[in-house]
Chains A and B, each alone.
Chain A
Amino acid sequence: MTTQSASRNIVWRAIGIVVLLALAIALPFVLKSNYYLGIAHQALIFIILASGYDVLLGFTGLLSFGHIGLFAIGAYTSAIMVTSTGAPFMVGIMAAAVLTGLIGFLISIPALRIKGHSLTLLTLALGEVIRLVIRSMEWLTSGSHGISNIPRPEILGFSFRQAVPLYYLLLAFAVLTILFVWRLRSSRFGRAFNAIRDSEIGADVSGVNISAMKMLAFAISAVLAGIAGGLYAHTVRFISPEFFSLGLTIILLAMVLIGGRGTIIGPVIGAALLITLPEALRFVKEYYLLAFGVAIWMCVLLLPDGLAGLGKRLFKRARTST
């Protein structure tokens, strides 16, 4: 690739980012109802969660089925901190991030020795254990009743109780997350993650400390899951263990796979699509899951790199044909 076409690529990419950001900023002016804004809130939260999950799955090639467990811990940490101790929203979020980061780091220790399917099964068990522990620790989490009346975010006296300000707060978090992941990917750490994914032995002899990098990948994705969890609790205002089920893990996985793993934009597209799709497919009623299953199946067969990969290919074709 010549430097000229590379720099033209950057221009196209910049235009794409500006357009997407403008659309995201303009969205509340189009979506007038609180119902639709609620869906947009969810989409933004899942963009954060999926972007963090992709650090593990797409960047480093580690398939964890316990990620929703970390999301749940983040949600409960912040909810409990704020409702029972009256801590400010930002303190709750930070506590969620620190605690999930720590737990992610602990999970990574056995994960260093276990590989492939065994790792996936281990994390699957961990995710379920986390959910069951939350359900049985009634004194802290009120068990299966869940925690209700979680206050909407408030930062330095400024309230984000209304749907539109909350939307912009979540958008800010999502943009910061995307920026973080983007910077991470082009750093020596991101390259090391990718190297481990593509060839562990190759990375090892190239001087990459595989254990340290896997721990870091686990911890980073856990911190982002914790932040997303905290934001979720304060957005939806009610959390219960049932929400954080294995089904949600599958949806999270589908977001990253359909969007395109290992890319920055992939999880963003995937999360936005899979949150809004159930609304768009409301008319098929109970057949929704069927349509969803077929969609995932088609994606795996026809779009191995997800929608982001498809976009890239189409873009390349358009460019070479002109």
Chain B
Amino acid sequence: MSTVLKVAGVTKIFGGLTALDSVSFELEKGKVLGLVGPNGSGKSTLLNVLSGVYRPEDGSVTLHDRNVTGLAPYLITTQGMARTFQNLQLFQGLSVGDNVLVGRTCRMSSTLVGSIFGSSFSRKEEREAKEQARSLLSLVGLDRFINEPPSMLSYGQRRLLEIARALASSPSVLMLDEPCAGLSQGEADELAAFIRTVSAQGTSVIVIEHNMRFIMGLVDHIVALNFGRKIAEGDPRSIRENEDVIAAYLGRKKRHAEN
């Protein structure tokens, strides 16, 4: 298995607060990695650093042997890492289909003049993008809403739409920030099945989630954070039994000395 993403010593400081303290991990092709930890442990901050929303003070993010540390978000997406948000960031004024098409923008190269006059290249590119958007939407079961505004969708469907939009850029790493928030258990199970399909096709996935049943059933590997530090890493089973993780979640007094 080849390593797709390598995160080494990433540190992020807000004022005097160290939100991320030298976090390192690796992600292999087609694997699903779960990012867990209590509130404020730095999971979302890490995702923001990986997606370029925040620039880290130290450390590096390497995607396919290319250093993408501190690049602007759109460049990181162009390089092959796409994400969704915990609080959705959909385009309310665009149709469901157009929301997905925006995700394809960085893979399109027709010029302004070509688009206005409908050059054969731009028409072909547009047609292919629309076909891809339609198939992505049917994959998440939203194809019948293609011409509707996102406001017509349920909360769970909006989450799926954001995932479809992220997938439109054909990413090699897909990052999901609490995709289960607001979903019923049934919807969460469907989402887990969908994420497995995505990873089976070779896309690596990083997922932040509090829903432990969801995480444990889905991921291959877990990185656990607490107070901005990686406290444990391993397969779901070993994490579930890890003393530090249990302590971090339940607030139990630690018997081990801090390292």
Q: What is the interface of chain A, defined by CB distance below 8 A to chain B? A: 1, 6, 180, 183-184, 187-189, 191-192, 194-195, 197-199, 201-210, 216, 262
CB within 8 A of B101: which of A191, A198, A202, A209? A191
Q: Which of chain B's residues has its CB closest to A187's CB?
A: B115
Tell me the B21-74 residues at the A interface (CB within 8 Å): 51-53, 72-74
Interface flag for B184 (CB, 8 Å): no
Q: How far is the CB of B171 from chain A (nearest CB, A)?
A: 9
Q: What is the interface of chain B, defined by CB distance below 8 A to chain A? A: 51-53, 72-74, 76-78, 82-83, 85, 89-94, 98, 101-108, 110, 112, 115-118, 122, 126, 129, 147-148, 165-166, 168-169
Known A187-B110, A188-B110, A207-B78; further 19 A-B contacts with Cβ < 8 A: A184-B112, A188-B126, A189-B115, A191-B101, A191-B105, A194-B91, A194-B94, A197-B93, A198-B90, A198-B91, A199-B91, A201-B89, A202-B85, A202-B89, A203-B91, A205-B52, A205-B83, A207-B169, A208-B105
Collect the chain B residues with CB atoms within 8 Å of residue A183's CB. 115-118
CB within 8 A of A198: which of B53, B93, B108? B93
CB within 8 A of A206: which of B112, B126, B169? B169
A199 to B91: give the CA distance in the assembly, Å.
6
Collect the chain A residues with CB atoms within 8 Å of residue B93's CB. 194, 197-198, 262
Say yes or no: B92 contacts A198, CB within 8 Å. yes
Return the 6 tightest CB-CB contacts between A and B, nearest first: A207-B106, A202-B89, A187-B115, A207-B77, A198-B91, A204-B73
Q: How far is the CB of B117 from chain A (nearest CB, A)?
A: 8
A180 to B118: give the CA distance in the assembly, Å.
11
A202 to B90: give the CA distance in the assembly, Å.
7
12 contacts between A and B (CB under 8 A): A188-B108, A188-B115, A189-B112, A194-B102, A195-B94, A198-B90, A198-B91, A205-B76, A207-B103, A207-B105, A207-B106, A208-B106
Collect the chain A residues with CB atoms within 8 Å of residue B169's CB. 206-207
A199 to B101: give the CA distance in the assembly, Å.
15
Collect the chain A residues with CB atoms within 8 Å of residue B91's CB. 194-195, 197-199, 202-203
A206 to B101: give the CA distance in the assembly, Å.
10
A201 to B91: give the CA distance in the assembly, Å.
11
A204 to B103: give the CA distance in the assembly, Å.
10
Q: How far is the CB of A140 from chain B (nearest CB, A)?
A: 32
Q: How far is the CB of B92 from chain A (nearest CB, A)?
A: 5
Say yes or no: B53 contacts A201, CB within 8 Å. yes
Q: How far is the CB of B157 from chain A (nearest CB, A)?
A: 15
Which of B82, B106, B122 has its CB near the most chain A CB atoms (within 10 A)? Answer: B106
Q: How far is the CB of A272 from chain B (nearest CB, A)?
A: 24
Say yes or no: B74 contacts A210, CB within 8 Å. yes
Collect the chain B residues with CB atoms within 8 Å of residue A216's CB. 112
Collect the chain B residues with CB atoms within 8 Å of residue A209's CB. 74, 106
Say yes or no: A191 contacts B74, CB within 8 Å. no
A1 to B77: give the CA distance in the assembly, Å.
31
Q: Which of chain A's residues has its CB closest to B162's CB?
A: A202
Collect the chain A residues with CB atoms within 8 Å of residue B104's CB. 188
Given known pairs A191-B101, A194-B93, A199-B90, the reply for A206 and B165 (CB within 8 Å) is yes
Which of A180, A184, A202, A205 has its CB near the most chain B CB atoms (within 10 A)? Answer: A205
Say yes or no: B74 contacts A195, CB within 8 Å. no
Collect the chain A residues with CB atoms within 8 Å of residue B103's CB. 206-207
Say yes or no: B83 contacts A1, CB within 8 Å. no
A6 to B145: give the CA distance in the assembly, Å.
12
A192 to B98: give the CA distance in the assembly, Å.
10
Given known pairs A205-B77, A206-B166, the reply for A188 and B105 (CB within 8 Å) is yes
A202 to B93: give the CA distance in the assembly, Å.
13
Collect the chain B residues with CB atoms within 8 Å of residue A194's CB. 91, 93-94, 98, 102
Q: How far is the CB of A102 from chain B (nearest CB, A)?
A: 16
Q: Which of chain B's residues has its CB closest to A202's CB?
A: B89
Say yes or no: A191 contacts B115, CB within 8 Å. no
Given known pairs A194-B94, A195-B94, the reply for A203 and B116 (CB within 8 Å) is no
A11 to B93: give the CA distance in the assembly, Å.
23
CB within 8 A of B116: which of A1, A187, A202? A187
Collect the chain A residues with CB atoms within 8 Å of residue B51's CB. 205
A210 to B168: give the CA distance in the assembly, Å.
18
Say yes or no: B74 contacts A188, CB within 8 Å. no
Say yes or no: A204 contacts B72, CB within 8 Å. yes
A189 to B125: give the CA distance in the assembly, Å.
13
Q: Which of chain B's residues has its CB closest to A203's CB?
A: B102
A199 to B165: give the CA distance in the assembly, Å.
14
Q: Which of chain A's residues has its CB closest to B72's CB?
A: A204
Collect the chain A residues with CB atoms within 8 Å of residue B126's CB. 187-188
Say yes or no: A205 contacts B73, CB within 8 Å. yes
Collect the chain B residues with CB atoms within 8 Å of residue A184's CB. 112, 115-116
Collect the chain B residues with CB atoms within 8 Å of residue A192's CB. 102, 105
Collect the chain A residues with CB atoms within 8 Å of residue B116's CB. 180, 183-184, 187
Q: Which of chain B's residues has its CB closest to A209's CB?
A: B74
Q: Which of chain B's residues has its CB closest to A219's CB?
A: B112
A204 to B129: give the CA distance in the assembly, Å.
19
